[in-house]
Amino acid sequence: AMEAEAEARLLLQEARESIEAARSYRRELEQRLRGLQQAREQIRESAALTRDVLEQHFNDLKGTLKKLLDERLMSLLQEVDTIEQESIKPLDECQKLIEHGVSTADDLLREGESAVHGDVGHQNEKLCNFTKKALHIQLDSLPEVPSLVDVPCLSAQLDDCLLTILKNQIFRHGTVASRPPVQLEEFVEKPGGILVRWCKVDDDFIPQDYRLQYRKSTASHFEDVYVGSETEFIVLHIDPHVDYQFRVCARGDGRQEWSPWSVPQTGCTTLVPHEWTTGLEGYSLSSRRNIALRNDSQSCGVLYSKAPTYFCGQTLTFRQVLLRIETVGQPDRRDSLGVCVEQQNGFDSLQRDKAVCISTNGAVFVNGKEMTNQLPAVTSGSTVTFDMEVVQLGPSSNEGGNFKLRVTISSNNREVVFDWVLDQCCGALYFGCSFSYPGWKVLVF
């Protein structure tokens, strides 16, 4: 009986596992059906949009082409009118001169006939006057009439090869692509931002520039966020837990037009943005509190982050901008950028215990001690990054024993790597900066 009961329980367990496996299988199939439906909708929607774009484009072309042809026809007709008027004008003047001569000759003929057939008593006087008048008119002088070969003979010169050229250009104009030459590849969460990566998927396409756009999922229009030759970009000012849509396109080498857009994809970050703490007299902050400016105040000290928002496995980036360079003077050896376990007031630098930092002259400090390796000096436009990963020391490291972080600090295409040993487990760190002279401006992300 016990064996039968155990066998029944085993069969029941196997049946339940089969039922759960069937449910999981059904869920996977339903998910794939939804994926197929989305793919079908994407094909249909993109095909409909492409039809609309093609029809609108060619309708615009036809309208523009008709307008250009009408303008060219009007220009040629005006040219015909101008040549006709300018050529007819001297002929009209010559005709008026000849008609005037004919009228004068008629008057002279009537006067001559009257003199010849007139009264004998007055005949000599009339003949004398007629003869003088005839000599004065110069009957042997005739106006010049141009021959037909000397006057314009208008004609239209129309080259039929234009139709062949247009035909060849039109037949080559426009293409239909089944997929864009570049696609979005990866989204990496950043504090208050998203690192977007994309890649080329068309081997025959040679990109010159890329163009990245984004929008909130509730917005209707995309906006440009990056144009350049890189294949990744950190989009800042991203609200946590809010969906954003991204798309990318490219411009071929030596071309002006952009390629079709990639398939829009949704990205999101769950990490709150890095912020400097407010209230320190020596620093002014931007509205988003991710930029700190060392002001003219005589007060000094370390400006810390609002909270320990830097976690191991992330990349912390400081970007430096020098303002009013003539007022900065020489950097101070106490100037530094870095991370620390906790906020400690009363210090004027991060070059202390439980902190790692880089000074503005490139020296690296670990727990207040300067390392032998040195990085390039931090100057205007410099970018400094911190990367850390946990390295455990012994089984008691999570209970207050030694705790080690492998730290990589990069600046100006050079980096140093070292192990930072702490006496306590630390998963989240503060970041900070300290500057002795006004004008330093630090963006953190």
pLDDT digits (tens, 9 = 90+) for 257-270: 899 899 999 999 99
- Rounded to whole angstroms, how far apart are CA atoms 359 and 365? 8
Domain shared by 341 and 360, yes or no: yes
**Residue 165's Cα: distance from chain center in Å?**
33
Residue 272 lies in a domain: no
Looking up tokens 């079709």 gives: 260
Element (H, E) at 411: strand 403-411
Looking at the structure, do residues 427 and 340 belong to the same domain, yes or no?
yes
Looking at 134, 152, 172, the residue that finishes a domain is: 172
CA angle 377, 378, 383 (to 5 degrees): 130
Q: Residues 290, 211: one domain? A: no
The rounded distance, in Å, linking the Cα atoms of 318 and 316 is 7
From 138, 172, 206, give the residue that closes a domain. Answer: 172
User: Does 438 lie in the same domain as 319?
Assistant: yes
Same domain, 106 and 192: no
The C-alpha atoms of residue 305 and residue 16 are separated, in whole angstroms, by 52
Specify the pLDDT at position 255.
Answer: 84
Domain extent at residue 193: 183-267
The answer to whether 185 touches 201, Cβ cutoff 8 Å, is no
CATH number at residue 420: 2.60.120.920
Residue-wise pLDDT tens digits, 85-109: 998 998 888 888 888 888 888 887 8
Query: What is the token pair recorded at 232?
Result: 């990744």
Residue 103, SS3 per DSSP:
helix
Pair 109, 231 in one domain: no
> Is 3 inside a domain boundary?
no
In a shared domain, residues 437 and 289? yes
How far is Cα 135 from Cα 153, in angstroms, rounded to an integer? 39
pLDDT at 121: 58
Residues 164, 218, single domain; the answer is no
Per the confidence metrics, is the pTM higher than 0.85? no
Looking only at Cα atoms, what is the longest distance across the chain? 178
Cβ proximity of 365 and 371 under 8 Å? yes
376 falls within a domain:
yes
Identify whether the C-beta of residue 311 lies closer than 8 Å to the C-beta of residue 427: yes
C-alpha span between 164 and 217 (Å, rounded): 48
- Residue 328, pLDDT score: 44
Same domain, 187 and 163: no
- Give the C-alpha separation, 311 to 424, whole Å: 15
User: How many folded domains does the chain comprise?
Assistant: 3
Asked whether residue 25 falls in the same domain as residue 48, the answer is yes
Of 336, 339, 383, 340, give the one whose Cα is nearest residue 234.
383
Q: For residue 429, what pLDDT is reported?
A: 92
Euclidean distance between CA atoms 214 and 245, whole angstroms: 5
Q: Spell out, as residue ranges, where the chain has pLDDT lower than 50.
A: 321-329, 394, 396-401
Position 5 in a domain: no
Euclidean distance between the first and the last CA atom of the chain, given in angstroms as a whole number: 69
Residue 374 lies in a domain: yes
